[in-house]
Amino acid sequence: MIQEVHFATFYTECMARRKRSADHAGRRGRDIGSSPAVLRDAGGLADSVHPYSGRIAVLSTKHGKLPLIGPPLERAVGVRVEAVVVDTDSLGTFTGDVARVGSPLDTAIAKARLGMRSACQGLGIASEGSIAPDPAMPFVVADRELVVFVDDDQGIVVWESHSSCDIVTARTIARPGDDLDPFLVRADFPAHRLIVRPNSGPMSPIVKGIANVGELTVAVAECAAVADDGQACIESDLRAHACPSRRAVIAAAAGRLAARLAARCPLCGAPGWGRVGVIRGLPCAWCGTEVARPRAEIDGCVACDYRATRPIVSTDARADPGECQVCNP
Ligand SMILES: [Zn+2]
Ligand SMILES: [Zn+2]
């Protein structure tokens, strides 16, 4: 019974706080006619104030992502991004101490909702990265970063991602006293921080966020001392605050999300208008058979079913016969 009373009070406070945020947006909306958040050229939405202008959106983060994600979103749609510290590691960690379940998109949405719940806000943001060998080039490591915007007031989710092979990752096995200089150059240390753990046997200690040679030497000695084979495993710390090359990819994904939020559905006005699919089938220059190359993109709305086809090549564009199954089987 006591729990129910608590929940009722909590819920009432939440709704009041969310209403204040929405009211504030409405008031600001009427007197910011020249704000950058005012759309000028989105079809019939010219001069209408963006629905997120002046609203608060909470960014769930433990690793300092606010400077990467907040500014582009604030510039694009006028939303005020505030960081809320939640234990997103419970949803899985880069270091593998906690295994991830579900797709990166599901994880990012769950992270955003953790923050929204703790801050009692209807708008939330989170990011999720996956660093793995590139499917097309298995010897190259690619970083794919996804940033999601969850609007539980309108019931929409908008996300964008960015991939890059410029991520710095390195790994080595060492004994105390080994010459680590070549490895440290490859790992771009100390700009990129390191993690040290025992190479075999016990799973701990795991020393994270190592940013100087003194800490590294101590960690290698500690981890090697407990390892069954007397060696320590040293690898890049891929958490956002420890990995500048990853931060650049997160910032790029946030920039794409900002542009997408600024684009609104020509039919219903919901934010998040953008690419939802491609149409393949470009005619071969020699025989006219369609090859798998895309000829148009489909833009769509996250709130309604409206779709529009946008050609990405001219009507007389033809595919190279080298790609054709008939001319070059
Ligand atoms: Zn729509
Ligand atoms: Zn052909």
* Peptide bond before residue 202 is cis, with ω within 30 degrees of 0: no
Cα of 278 to ligand 2 centre, how many Å?
21
Distance 137 CA to ligand 2 centre (A): 28
| pLDDT recorded at residue 136 | 83
The ligand placed nearest to the CA atom of residue 42 is: 1
CB 180 within 8 A of CB 172: yes
pTM for the model: 0.80
Which ligand has the shortest distance to the CA of 308?
1
Whole-number pLDDT of residue 31:
30
Q: What's the pLDDT score for residue 64?
A: 84
How much distance in Å is there from the Cα of 248 to the middle of ligand 2? 42
pLDDT recorded at residue 13: 54
Residues 149-190: pLDDT tens digits?
A: 999 999 999 999 999 999 999 999 999 999 999 999 999 999
pLDDT of residue 44: 52
Residue-by-residue DSSP string for 96-119: SSS---S-HHHHHHHHHHHHHHHH
Question: Which ligand has an atom closest to residue 286 CA?
Answer: 2
- Best CA proximity match to 150, nearest among 163, 142, 159, 141: 159
Six-digit token pair at 177?
């006293």
- Closest ligand to C-alpha of residue 291 is 2
For residue 37, the model assigns a pLDDT of 37
CA angle 321, 322, 326 (to 5 degrees): 65
| Residues with pLDDT less than 50, the chain | 1-11, 24-43
Percent pLDDT > 70 in the chain is 81
Residue 156, pLDDT score:
96
- The alpha carbon of 271 and the centre of ligand 1 are apart by a number of angstroms equal to 8
